[in-house]
Amino acid sequence: MSDLEKSFAELFPAKQIPFCTVEYSGRLKAYNARIQMRGNYITVVASKTWRGISPSILKGLYQELLVRVYKIKKQTIHMDLYHHFMRSLPRIAPKRKTHPVLEQSFHRVNGTLFMGILEQPNLRIGRGVNRLGTYEYASDTVSISSILLEHPELMDYVMYHELLHKKHQYTASKGRSCHHSPAFLAEERKFPNAMVLEQELQRLVTQMKRVWFW
Ligand SMILES: [Zn+2]
């Protein structure tokens, strides 16, 4: 039995095991994966970074995908191992990307709101108006939209939000993950003038959309 088949059998002891295939792709982002279910066929497409990872962690990945696609609530020891592995990735991810303006923003925020204890993640400029910032655990990368380049205060606020993701990480249980825990949101409000900045961000996004699309 393949690891994917074993993962299925552990989750659904009474069900017949479908035809299972695992493919590795260089096009998916690091440690991403997708699942497809068609009739009696299940295909998992996993980023090639998954190659050679311990079978017990891989089983956790497969089970995480299976509980989502079958919409069931179950938590297994392998799924715990998988999340433990995912949470360890930011620490071991190589730090190669940076950007002078983002680096200044990182140091301001780290110094004033994290007492300088956060390690600098990869920093990159993203495009797009709807996603002002993102944090990617697998590569330890904060992306900040280019529209914030001329708004240092707003940039710091978005940087702070993304760095809180690095600090708090996420909790996961039974196929559901929570990225904005109550503790996260409480800490987010500690940013000076958070409410005002939130409104200014909204205004900027609306303005930019007008400039770009109308
Ligand atoms: Zn967020």
* Residue 203: HSE in the Cβ half-sphere, 13 Å Cα cutoff: 8
Domain boundary among 49, 72, 92: 92
Please state the domain count of the chain.
2
pTM of the predicted model as reported, rounded to 2 decimal places: 0.83
178 to each of 39, 135, 185, how far by Cα in Å? Answer: 31, 14, 12
Tell me which of 45, 64, 92 is where a domain ends: 92
pLDDT at position 151, please? 96
Domain boundary among 57, 92, 127: 92
Sequential DSSP letters for 121-158: -EEEEE--SS-SEEEETTTTEEEEEGGGTT-HHHHHHH
Domain containing residue 207? 100-213
Tokens of 48: 């090639």
Same structural domain, 29 and 104: no
What pLDDT is attached to residue 205? Answer: 87
Q: pLDDT grade, residue 35 (50/70/90)? A: very high
Tens digit of pLDDT for each residue in 102-136? 999 999 999 999 999 999 999 999 977 778 999 99
- On whether both 45 and 104 belong to a single domain, the answer is no
For residues 129 and 179, state if they share a domain. yes
- Residue 206's pLDDT band, with cuts at 50, 70 and 90, is confident
CA of 42 to the centre of ligand 1 (A): 31
pLDDT, average across residues 46-61: 96
CA–CA separation, 162 and 183 (whole Å): 14
pLDDT at 51 over 60: yes
Predicted local distance difference test score (pLDDT) of residue 212: 61
Burial category of 212 from C-beta neighbours within 10 Å (exposed 0-12, middle 13-18, buried 19 and up): exposed
Q: State whether 68 and 145 are in the same domain.
A: no
Residues 118 and 167 in one domain: yes
Cβ neighbours around 102 below 10 Å, total: 23
Nearest residue to 32 via CA among 42, 24, 21, 43: 24
Specify the pLDDT at position 209: 78
| Distance from residue 1's CA to the centre of ligand 1 (Å) | 39
What pLDDT shows up at residue 185?
Answer: 94
Output the pLDDT for position 213.
Answer: 59
**107 and 207 share a domain?**
yes
State the CATH number of the domain containing residue 39. 3.30.2010
DSSP H helical segments within the chain, as ranges?
3-11, 55-69, 77-92, 100-113, 152-168, 182-188, 194-213
- Distance from Cα 36 to the centre of ligand 1, integer Å: 27
- The alpha carbon dihedral of 18, 50, 172, 68 has a sign of negative
CATH code of the domain covering residue 195: 3.30.2010.10
The answer on pLDDT for 70 being more than 90 is yes
Cα(133) to ligand 1 centroid in Å equals: 8
State residue 55 phi and psi, 5-degree precision. Answer: -55, -35
Percent of the chain topping pLDDT 90: 86
Higher pLDDT pick, 213 / 18:
18
Distance 183 CA to ligand 1 centre (A): 13
113, 22: one domain? no
Report the share of the chain in percent with pLDDT over 70. 98
